[in-house]
Structure 1
């Protein structure tokens, strides 16, 4: 909680021999100071125990009242800022108290987006963020620009003017009116992710003291977790055993199977090189890398199907582990593979990643903590929705319990 202490700054005095009273504000172990605009002599400050004793002089009573108002204003400012941002800083509080807030929050939301996206582009060029994430933020800015232009008739919009009506009208516009590639409307989960972009951009502004509030914090819609599509053991074996008549289908099959037994996402597979293959002290082979999307470490032991595929493409002219095929082409050819293998599921590259999480690992008793680590998830909750669909694990555990009870 925020605390305020008053002290006398005695290095300078006014013409009456009085010193300035300052407020020392303390929050989360950090402090800052603020002038109260009030003066008093050191003798009277000490005599009245910092104006805490019973006061008899009207000037001192008025001074005490003014200090009480300063303290109340500091606490009210902290509570107001906390409603929009749980990580309020002392600089934000001081800016608000000094009347700098209006100037800060008059920043145009689209200009703030430009600042954030320029910063994110540097992180992408440094290899710290993925190209897909950068494209997502650029797309979010375009959607916001279109909304402001079509619904408000403006080319810009001040952050201080963004209210609840603006936010929920924006949500409605994205869901039912926005148009992209001749498709009208955006699905619920995509809208929630775009709002996550809006929030992140404003948190960036707060972090760099460009603004003091995050108007998008009021938006609290959640992602609707859909049941992940994955292959059963029988379906996976059906694809593994199938030999196709064309090289393109065989290459896509290899990339897909590689992902089924390693858990790597499409963008990560494209970036894998021979340097990512590492042997440990036990002479076991690992693929060690950081996920492009989150920059989180993702180390996976090389299983036999993965080793066979790596060996198959060991003579590639380039340094990559696997042939490079665009994710769009992979998904296009996977449709053919699904038809040829009599698999009645919408087969995409990400189905392989889901298959690794469910059929290959959790379905074979691998601890969820280890699965989460191998998949490069930032939290265990990201992995838990895979575990929910593994009814077989529940059955196996209940069979063991049934034996004990009987």
Structure 2
């Protein structure tokens, strides 16, 4: 009797924790694994029920309700495709038997692949697919905003350079070169005045275009095989963080609006916990055990363990462990306004590049403060206090390399203290004089 089950292979999980769903067809004590072409995050696979379950272990709350529903809808779509593929394999086996042909495993696999039952054959327009992907994704508001910007850039290129719908088949290295040049020199920014954007903005759009193309490829759209050849510029950015003195300044300031006080409290809390904003917003008393945060990260499903010191505990108690709820976009707007009012205005140097040309600009620190700066502040404070990068990696879920390269900032006073401590032995050395010419 022919059987089909769906599974993922533990030895086929890639570096991003993703795995392809296989359909294991069995007949006469022989089996053959057939790729479904569907790739998922391996930790979301429910082996017992042979289904994707992205909401397992996640408690539905008012804050994450829309994301919860989005994940359920996405799971339903994938699970439906899996069941359709399994049904098609059994249908192929039955057709062979009706024709008095043994539905042996290799033959059924070949017939399944030949039919290309899950491969969309039409050359779809790219921008509607991008919009559909953005609507379905459960990413943060900030990430969705970046997707929306990428769609704006592609739409502008379509209207200005192609004057016809941009299709999947248009994606080539020549297209990427032309699109990159357009973004650098010809793109008109909203408002209709300035032209061209920075290398950093170009890199973000190209990165998100690659995200879309990989998404389509995983769902068996016929995407040209150039994804890995699309080069995204990697720029060394200034690591901006708050010093302990600036945190004290924020905490002691009496704000003109209550919303600034609330957003200040959440920001400072995260300067001592380093949580992603999605995890910070769903944090509640159920996540606190023996004076530490214990929860599963929403983004990568990794376990988080953050011991709480006095200040973050006081803030949590102030709000009875139910933090003010704000979208990340509003949070970032309010924390800038609050930091400006509190006088967090030390000048920081920003480096911008466009078409490889660098420019330098000094801006007050409040202008660049976001929820992300709180994570950089936490990591930088950990470094100053002597906490190992490995321990910080376990807390934040970021690799040691990424932490050191993109998150760990160090102030001049810390550098001075470390140098003085390192060469402290010199003060006991006899002075022998320095010969001069």
* TM-score, normalised via structure 1 length: 0.60
Give the equivalent residue in structure 2 for 1:369. Answer: 390
C-alpha offsets along residues 3-55 of structure 1, whole Å, 9 cap, x if unaligned? xxxxxxxxxxxxxxxxxxxxxxxxxxx999xxxxxxxxxxxxxxxxxxxxxxx
Give the equivalent residue in structure 1 for 2:292. Answer: 285
Give the equivalent residue in structure 1 for 2:126. Answer: 110
Aligned counterparts of 1:390 and 1:105: Cα–Cα separation in 2: 56
Shift of the 107–295 alpha-carbon distance from structure 1 to 2, 3 Å rule, reads farther
The offset of 1:209, in angstroms, is 3.7
Q: What secondary structure does 1:308 align onto? A: helix
Give the equivalent residue in structure 2 for 1:193. Answer: 204
Out of 140, 158, 162, the position equivalent to 1:148 is 158
Q: What secondary structure does 2:423 align onto? A: helix
Residue ranges of structure 2 left out of the alignment (5+ in a row): 1-32, 36-109, 346-363, 430-437
Give the equivalent residue in structure 2 for 1:233. Answer: 244
Question: What is the 5 A alignment of 1:3-402?
Answer: 107-108=123-124, 110=126, 114=129, 118=132, 122=136, 124=138, 129-159=139-169, 161-179=170-188, 181-182=190-191, 184=194, 185-211=196-222, 213-244=224-255, 246-275=257-286, 277-279=287-289, 283-292=290-299, 296-314=302-320, 321-344=322-345, 345-347=364-366, 348-350=369-371, 351-358=373-380, 360-377=381-398, 379-385=399-405, 386-387=407-408, 389=410, 395-402=416-423
Shift of the 245–397 alpha-carbon distance from structure 1 to 2, 3 Å rule, reads closer
Aligned counterparts of 2:143 and 2:332: Cα–Cα separation in 1: 20
Shift of the 297–131 alpha-carbon distance from structure 1 to 2, 3 Å rule, reads farther
Kept after mapping to 1: 8 A contact 2:141/2:328: no
Kept after mapping to 1: 8 A contact 2:141/2:329: no
The offset of 1:383, in angstroms, is 0.8
Aligned counterparts of 1:241 and 1:268: Cα–Cα separation in 2: 26
The offset of 1:211, in angstroms, is 2.5
Kept after mapping to 2: 8 A contact 1:258/1:306: yes
Q: What secondary structure does 1:288 align onto? A: strand
Kept after mapping to 2: 8 A contact 1:175/1:187: yes
The offset of 1:117, in angstroms, is 6.2
The offset of 1:200, in angstroms, is 2.7
Shift of the 392–214 alpha-carbon distance from structure 1 to 2, 3 Å rule, reads farther
The offset of 1:154, in angstroms, is 1.0
Shift of the 338–105 alpha-carbon distance from structure 1 to 2, 3 Å rule, reads same
Q: What secondary structure does 2:365 align onto? A: coil
C-alpha offsets along residues 335-384 of structure 1, whole Å, 9 cap, x if unaligned? 454344332133223332221121x211111111222332232x322211
Residue ranges of structure 1 left out of the alignment (5+ in a row): 1-29, 33-93, 315-319
Q: What secondary structure does 2:295 align onto? A: strand
C-alpha offsets along residues 220-241 of structure 1, whole Å, 9 cap, x if unaligned? 2422121122112222222222
What is the RMSD computed on CA atoms of the aligned residues?
A: 3.8
Pair member with larger Rg: 1
* TM-score, normalised via structure 2 length: 0.57
Kept after mapping to 2: 8 A contact 1:362/1:390: no
Aligned length: 294
